[in-house]
Structure 1
Amino acid sequence: MARLLLVVSRTQPTRYTYLKHVFASDIIDVIFDRRMEARRQRQEPVALDKRRVDRRQRDIVQDLKSFGWALVRH
């Protein structure tokens, strides 16, 4: 199972092909960004969760816009 994901912007099919050829391995999976649109936002504030630490990974949107790809652990 791969430990890293190289996420490529769906607007970069040529870059995806190149990165898949160069980097795909047992350690790295090269995938297209499959997200469709921004998530819905709530009208009312969300109650404070009992968990104090946000476990989500960093947002990769800026990397996808700037570089056309982003590298994340999974």
Structure 2
Amino acid sequence: MDVQIVRLEERLKSIEGMLTAIADEQKAASEGRRRGYEAQERAEREMIGINFRLSAVEKSVEAIRPTTAELEKVRDRVV
């Protein structure tokens, strides 16, 4: 009877250890997902910033297009 109790206690300790390991793995996985989401959000914010900057550059190019066309005409005349 005592041997069975000792074996049962050993099994319970083993199960407890496994449960602790599973809980630790779940915490690590949760932390990894959190870091992944944060990295994704940073990348999204950077892309939005790049889009705004690109739009500003496109507007600037459109604004100087008449000047560029006139410069091309003058260049052609000189040639």
**TM-score scaled by structure 2?**
0.18
RCO (CA 8 Å, sep 6+): is it higher in 1 or 2?
Answer: 1
- Structure in which a larger fraction of residues adopt strand: 1
Bigger CA radius of gyration? 2
- Structure in which a larger fraction of residues adopt helix: 2
